[in-house]
């Protein structure tokens, strides 16, 4: 797999407009199962074809149970300067429900160990609205995060997906379904609590101390180009083309052994680009740049847009500030629905 990933990097070295990378992200799947030398070898391959910005952010997604002392010691010798740790919760009942391999003790100790080895730029994932949790437990999860001095948090409501054990348990009455009203309450408590502790709420699900916003994810949200390497990875050329690699590991490796890129490509219509720009931009604190929107799209589509936003501006669900269309923070829990109402279908 590592050889195939290196081959793909080499074959796609000319796809980005810039050769000077500002972020490099190892994630999706569980890259922390690789050892530090294997991770370094992939970085070395990237450096054969690209240069690194002097302030590049290099992130590794990791499970808490992978972050033992030996791994962190070796990782601290590499260029990785940011960790995204899949903590989810500091309570065992929540972790059992989510079928996580780590326990509450490991969730906390992995963060402390990472800090001991010099990793200050740490993001953790937290899940709220779990039927095994409560408002009090959620408050304690947030208190623990502050106590641990974590500077970035990505937090999501627990959702029930089809064909999962959680869905089966709920159907069988073994566990209660998540309650939207409780998730709503916990979301807004988190928003106020984290802002009171110096965090910026810069995207619906993301909070960062000043200087610790995710540069990588911010590039997605600002509709910039990115190159995705590996099975299932997605790429975007910053204009009108999106591509994705096949998900099957064996087919991915076999294709690259034959110097064939294992991917599919789609050209985005004007309508697709418009809908995506709204969907992504309205999830952020900076919103949708109306000047960029006016430059990019046809008069017909812009007329449709003006008609669609009028009632939502009147109702206070949208507002215009510094020529950017934004959703006021008090309505962020409804953002996906608000954006969908503006889509051209």
pLDDT one-digit tens code per residue, 71-128: 999 999 999 999 999 999 999 988 888 778 898 999 999 999 999 999 999 999 999 9
Classify residue 124 by its DSSP letter: E
Mean pLDDT over the full length of the chain: 93
Delineate the domains of the chain, giving CATH numbers in brackets.
18-220 (3.30.750.200), 271-345 (1.10.10.920)
Span 264-279, mean pLDDT?
A: 95
Give me the torsion for CA of 10, 15, 18, 20, rounded to 10°.
-20
274-322 pLDDT, tens digit each: 999 999 999 999 999 999 999 999 999 999 999 999 999 999 999 999 9
164-222 pLDDT, tens digit each: 777 777 777 777 777 888 989 999 999 999 999 999 999 999 999 999 999 999 998 88
Exposure string of 116-127, with b = 16+ CB inside 10 Å and e = fewer, is ebebebbbbbbb
What is the pLDDT at residue 29?
Answer: 78
What is the pLDDT at residue 131?
Answer: 84
Q: Which phi and psi (to 5°) does residue 37 adopt?
A: -65, -40
* pTM attached to this predicted model: 0.92
**Is residue 231 a contact partner of residue 263, using CB atoms and an 8 Å limit?**
no
What is the pLDDT at residue 345?
Answer: 86
Q: Is residue 161 very low, low, confident or very high in pLDDT (cuts 50, 70, 90)?
A: confident
What is the pLDDT at residue 144?
Answer: 97
Query: Rounded distance, CA 244 to CA 236, Å?
Result: 9
Sheet holding 288-289, edge to edge: 288-289, 324-326, 319-321
Burial environment of residue 278 by CB neighbours within 10 A (0 to 12, 13 to 18, 19 or more): buried
For residue 8, the SS3 value is helix
What is the pLDDT at residue 98?
Answer: 79
* Strand-pair partners of 187: none
More confident residue, 324 or 165: 324
Q: Is the pLDDT of residue 137 over 80?
A: yes
């Amino acid at each position: 797999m590592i050889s195939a990933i290196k081959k793909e990097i080499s074959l796609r070295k000319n796809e980005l407009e810039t050769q000077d990378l500002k972020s490099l992200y190892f994630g999706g799947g569980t890259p922390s199962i690789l050892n530090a030398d294997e991770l370094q070898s992939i970085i070395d391959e990237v450096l054969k074809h690209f240069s690194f910005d002097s302030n590049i952010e290099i992130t590794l997604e990791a499970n808490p149970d992978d972050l033992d002392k030996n791994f962190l010691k070796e990782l601290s010798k590499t260029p990785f300067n940011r960790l995204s740790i899949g903590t989810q919760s500091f309570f065992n009942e929540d972790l059992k429900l989510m079928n996580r391999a780590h326990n509450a003790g490991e969730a906390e100790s992995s963060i402390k160990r990472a800090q001991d080895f010099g990793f200050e730029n740490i993001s953790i994932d937290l899940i709220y609205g779990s039927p095994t949790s409560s408002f009090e437990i959620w408050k304690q999860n947030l208190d623990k995060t502050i106590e641990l001095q974590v500077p970035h948090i990505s937090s999501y409501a627990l959702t029930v997906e089809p064909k999962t054990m959680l869905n089966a348990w709920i159907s069988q009455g073994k566990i209660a379904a998540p309650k939207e009203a409780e998730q709503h309450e916990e979301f807004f408590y988190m928003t106020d609590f984290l802002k009171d502790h110096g965090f910026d709420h810069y995207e619906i699900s993301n909070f960062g101390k000043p200087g610790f916003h995710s540069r990588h994810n911010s590039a997605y949200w600002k509709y910039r180009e990115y190159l995705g390497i590996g099975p299932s990875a997605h790429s975007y050329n910053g204009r009108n083309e999106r591509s994705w690699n096949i998900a099957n590991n064996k087919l991915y490796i076999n294709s690259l052994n034959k110097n064939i890129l294992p991917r599919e490509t789609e050209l985005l219509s004007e309508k697709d680009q418009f809908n995506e720009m709204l969907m992504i931009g309205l999830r952020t604190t900076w919103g949708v740049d109306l000047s960029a929107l006016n430059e990019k799209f046809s008069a017909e589509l812009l007329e449709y847009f003006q008609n669609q936003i009028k009632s939502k501006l009147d109702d206070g669900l949208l507002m215009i500030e510094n020529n950017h269309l934004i959703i006021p923070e008090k309505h962020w829990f409804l953002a996906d629905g608000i954006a969908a109402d503006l889509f051209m279908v």
